[in-house]
Every structure is written in C-alpha cells, then in structure tokens.
C-alpha cells in the first residue's frame, strides 16, 4: 500500500514555482481554493514572460481557477528537498496568501473550494478540544517521543508536544492527561498551525512524510490527520493559516473576507472560523465599538426567525488606520 504524496507528478526543467493560498469565508466556514481534486493549490512555474513573481501567480490562478483576486501578499519561500527537476536541482516554492470572496468557478474550471479543516481537523476547537487529539495524535506523538534513544531528545520532544498541543506530560514515563479538563485554551496557541503540522510530519504520522509507514495510520486516517496533498502544498496552507491567525490579532484583515454588509454575529462567526476558537460575544462587540471598526447601515437583515439584526459595514479607511492602531481580538471564552 502506498500513499506517498511527495513525488506525484513528472519532473520539469524549472527551479522556481509560485503557489497561491486563496482563502474565503463562506457560510461562516474558512475555505481554501484547490485544484486537482483538492490535492494541489493553484501553482505553476515562474517563466521569463512573467515580469514579477506576483504577475506569475496571478496568471496561474486566473488560468487554473478563474477566481478574481483581491488582497495578495507574499507568504513564504522555501526549498522542497523532496522534489528535483530534470537536472537534479531542488525546487524553490514562492507562496502567496490571498483573501478573496468565493466565486462559483467550478463549472468553468477544475478548481474546488474546500473547508480548510478538512486538511487540519485538529485545528478546529469551536466545539472544544477535538477527540482526535486525545484519542490518536497525542498518544502517537508520545510514542514517537519515547522511541528516541537519547534522553535529551526525548525530553525535548515532550516539551514540544506540551507547547504545541496544550497537554501536560510527566518527566518519567510520560502519561498524557487525556480528559478534556486537562486541556486549557490558555495553553492552545492558535497560530502554531505550522509547528503542529511539522511535528506530525517529523513523527511520520502523515502521508506527505517521505518515510511514513501506513501501518501507523488508523483505518479512518483521513478523518484523523486530514486530507493529504501532493508535494508540500499542505505545509504551504499551514503556513498561510499561521500567518493569518497571527495577523488578525493586530490587523483587521477579516474585512477583506466579508461581504459589503453583514451582521455583528456573522462577523464574529467568520473570525471564529479563522481562529478555530470561540470568542466572547460581549468582549467582541466592545472591541468593535472601541476601535470604530464598523458603521451601522441603518438597515436590518430579513431574518426568517427571531428579531432582525442590524446590518453593518466596515469603515472604508480601516486599512490605513490599521497601519497604526493596535487592534486585538477579544479573549476566548
């Protein structure tokens, strides 16, 4: 049985590829745009006709997805040591993060929007600590830590597990505390997405790992450790989520993902979808009031049930203001 996702396509002659992580909020869910049946991000080689890296990524996104682009920033550049071109050179990825409004382009292209928690199910803490962390991930990581022959390496691995996964381990023959009460949101750092993914990769618990063993994976592994992707594309998404979760704590980038008008509940649910954690309603609304982030439109939503909610829009000069203001997310519940 083979599920290797490191060498899935034929080698090319180029040495640099551009990769786009396009994120949208749809129905209060964080979504990412993919191609090749969800196994790849929009991507392509950098070519001489591209006058810039950003021009290259925009061309490939347009050709492969027809998705209009809005906010776009360079995310990260790294070498994929698992891939080589025809001349034996390692490939360099230049990745970009884009915030967009989801459009239905699937009929015209092979692009597919996917919930990003399909790829990272352990990152969704909206209903509390996911069972997969307590039942599979932490025990498997502890076994990986225990496998180290050097005591210092074992201790370092235990410490990394505690810091990344919000658990407490004893120093001697560690026994993870698997009850939900042993997990505290104060110990879960939402923006450590990439660190958690890298640990699973290092422990060879995901198919992208070059030396992973399928026997380590449970029968329903895709629900346990998420959908795999070719090459390092899931790592690129993890990098994007880490960046976005960190930035929304001090810059109101959420407004690049919202429609022109929205209710405060819709805004909060969208922020929660990105952070993966529930926010305190009163604190969230006090934040909006104190920072003058939104303005009422004077209209209300046509709610089918209950009382219609007021509609708001964001301040159009908010991006200029965000360069100077300290806009923090409220505390978690």
**pLDDT tens, 81-102?**
777 777 777 788 889 999 988 8
Co-location of 47 and 99 in the same domain: yes
Global confidence as pTM: 0.84
| Distance from C-alpha of 163 to C-alpha of 175, rounded to nearest angstrom | 16
The torsion defined by the Cα of 47, 244, 119 and 204, in degrees rounded to 10, comes to 80
Same domain, 68 and 107: yes
Residue 240 lies in a domain: no
Q: Is residue 330 part of a domain?
A: no
Residue 241 lies in a domain: no
Residue 47 lies in a domain: yes
Quick check: is 298 in a domain?
Answer: yes
The answer on 62 and 135 residing in a single domain is no
Q: How many domains does the chain have?
A: 3
Whether residue 3 lies inside any domain: the answer is no
Taking only the tens place, the pLDDT of each residue in 182-199 is 444 347 899 999 999 999
- Tokens standing for residue 122: 């352990």
Contact by Cβ (8 Å): 277, 190: yes
247-303 pLDDT, tens per residue?
887 777 787 888 889 999 999 999 999 999 998 999 888 888 877 788 888 888 876
Whether residue 156 sits in one domain with residue 96: no
Looking at the domain assignment, is residue 309 inside a domain? yes
Identify the CA nearest to 231 among candidates 48, 53, 57, 95: 95
pLDDT in tens, 122-174: 999 999 888 888 888 988 899 999 999 999 999 999 999 989 998 877 555 44
**pLDDT confidence of residue 304:** 60
Nearest to 14 by CA among 42, 51, 59, 47: 47
- Domain-embedded: residue 221: yes
Identify whether residues 129 and 208 lie together within a single domain: yes
- Three-state secondary-structure class, residue 113: strand
Counted residue by residue, the chain has a size of: 333
Is residue 35 domain-shared with residue 87, that is, in the same domain?
Answer: yes
157 burial (CB, 10 Å; 0-12 / 13-18 / 19+) is: buried
Sign of CA dihedral 199, 35, 190, 174: negative
Domain range for 170:
122-226
Q: Which of 226, 259, 275 delimits the end of a domain? A: 226
Mean pLDDT over each residue of the chain, to the nearest integer: 80
Which of 69, 92, 118 is a domain's end point? 118
Instruction: Say yes or no: 142 and 207 in one domain.
Output: yes
Residues 113 and 132 in one domain: no
pLDDT recorded at residue 9: 47
Q: Are 25 and 53 in contact (CB under 8 A)?
A: no
pLDDT greater than 60 at residue 228: yes
Q: What is the pLDDT of residue 118?
A: 95
Distances (CA, A) of 246 to 96, 191, 241: 16, 6, 8
Q: Which of 87, 118, 149 is the last residue of a domain?
A: 118
Q: Pull the structure tokens for residue 22.
A: 């396009």
Quote the pLDDT of residue 50: 62
Co-location of 212 and 289 in the same domain:
no
């Amino acid at each position: 049985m083979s599920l290797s996702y490191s060498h899935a396509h034929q080698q090319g002659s180029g040495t640099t590829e551009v990769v786009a992580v396009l994120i949208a909020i749809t129905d209060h869910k964080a979504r990412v745009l993919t191609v090749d049946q969800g196994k790849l991000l929009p991507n392509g080689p950098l070519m001489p006709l591209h006058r810039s890296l950003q021009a290259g990524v925009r061309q490939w996104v347009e050709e492969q997805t027809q998705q209009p682009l809005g906010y776009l920033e360079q995310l990260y550049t790294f070498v994929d040591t698992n891939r080589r071109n025809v001349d034996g050179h390692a490939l360099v990825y230049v990745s970009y993060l884009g915030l967009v409004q989801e459009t239905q382009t699937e009929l015209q292209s092979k692009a597919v929007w996917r919930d990003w928690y399909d790829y990272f199910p352990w990152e969704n803490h909206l209903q509390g600590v996911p069972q997969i962390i307590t039942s599979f991930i932490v025990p498997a990581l502890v076994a990986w830590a225990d496998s180290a022959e050097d005591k210092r390496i074992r201790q370092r691995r235990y410490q990394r597990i505690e810091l990344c996964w919000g658990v407490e381990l004893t120093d001697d023959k560690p026994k993870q505390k698997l009850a939900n009460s042993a997990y505290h949101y104060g110990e879960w750092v939402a923006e450590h997405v990439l660190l958690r993914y890298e640990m699973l990769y290092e422990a060879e618990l995901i198919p992208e790992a070059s030396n992973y063993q399928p026997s380590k994976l449970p029968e329903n592994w895709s629900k346990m450790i998420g959908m795999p992707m070719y090459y390092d594309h899931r790592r690129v998404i993890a990098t994007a989520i880490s960046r976005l979760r960190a930035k929304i704590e001090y810059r109101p980038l959420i407004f690049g993902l919202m429609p022109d008008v929205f209710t405060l509940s819709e805004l909060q649910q969208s922020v929660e979808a990105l952070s993966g954690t529930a926010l305190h309603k009163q604190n969230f609304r006090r934040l909006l009031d104190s920072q003058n982030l939104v303005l009422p439109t004077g209209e209300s939503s046509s709610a089918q049930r209950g009382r219609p909610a007021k509609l708001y829009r964001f301040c159009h000069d908010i991006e200029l203001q965000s360069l100077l203001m300290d806009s923090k997310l409220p505390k978690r519940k």
